Amino acid sequence: MSVPGLCALAWAQALVNAAGPEYGEALAFLKAAAPPLEKLPPTVSGYASGARLEAMLRSALKEAGGGEPGRGAEAAIRCVALLVRKGRFAYFASFAAEVEKIVDERDGTLRVLVESAAVPGAGFEDRLKAMLKRKKNAGDVRLDIRVVPELLAGCRIGMGGEYLDGSLLGRLKAMAKDLGSGAGATFGGME
C-alpha cells in the first residue's frame, strides 16, 4: 500500500474508533458531506480553514434538520476538520473509502469487485449475492460492477484476498503462457 493509502487507512481507523458504536453514523455523515467536500481543492489546509470548514459542516447539519450531531457525526466533523488543519485533505476520497471498508468489515458485509465484459443480464446481481452470502457466510454482499470490454467475454471477481478470472482474456493469457512454457508441446508423452 502507498504512503497516501496508509495515511488514509490510519485516519479511517482513527475515525471509526472515535465514533465507537456509532461508526455507521460517521460513515453516513461522510457520504452525505462528500459531494460538496470533493469540490474543495485538495490543497486546502491550515487551522483557520479547518475551523471554517468545521463551522460550515455543523451549520449544514443543523439546516438539514440534524440538530446536534451524535457521537459518530461529531467524530466525522472533527476528523474532516483535522484533515484540513494538518494539510491532509488531499486524502479525503481515499479516507472515506477506507472508512466504508472498515464499516463493511465490522458489519459482516462482503465487498466484491465484479469486472464484466458486458453489462450483466437481469437477475445476475441477485443470484451472485445469494450465492456469495451462502458460500462465504456473509451478512450482506456489496457488489461493485464495472464493465471492462477488454475482457472479451465472461468476468473477473475479486473479494478479500481471492481473485477469480473467468474471462476469455484470462483464459487466452493462460493458454499463451502454457504454450510459451512448453506445456502442451507434447501429446500423450509423444512429441
DSSP string of 110-156, one letter each residue? EEEEEEESSPPPTTHHHHHHHHHHHHHT-SEEEEEEEE-GGG-SSEE
Low-confidence ranges of the chain (pLDDT < 50): 185-191
Q: Which of 93, 78, 91 lies closest to 6, judged by CA?
A: 91
Identify the pLDDT of residue 190: 41
Whole-angstrom distance, CA of residue 109 vs CA of residue 143 = 10
Number of residues assigned to the chain: 191
Identify the pLDDT of residue 28: 92
Identify the pLDDT of residue 54: 94
Identify the pLDDT of residue 69: 84
Reading the block at residue 91, the C-alpha cell is 486524502
Identify the pLDDT of residue 86: 93
Whole-angstrom distance, CA of residue 167 vs CA of residue 174 = 11
Reading the block at residue 63, the C-alpha cell is 439546516
Identify the pLDDT of residue 83: 93
For 24-69, what is each residue's pLDDT tens digit? Answer: 999 999 999 999 998 999 899 999 999 999 999 998 888 877 678 8
Q: List % helix, strand, coil for the chain (3-state, nearest 5).
A: 60, 15, 25
Distance of CA 96 to the CA centre of its chain: 8
In sequence order, what are the beta bridge partners of 110? 141
* Sheet containing strand 140-147, strands side by side: 140-147, 109-116, 155-159, 162-165
Phi, psi values for residue 179, rounded to 5°: -70, -35
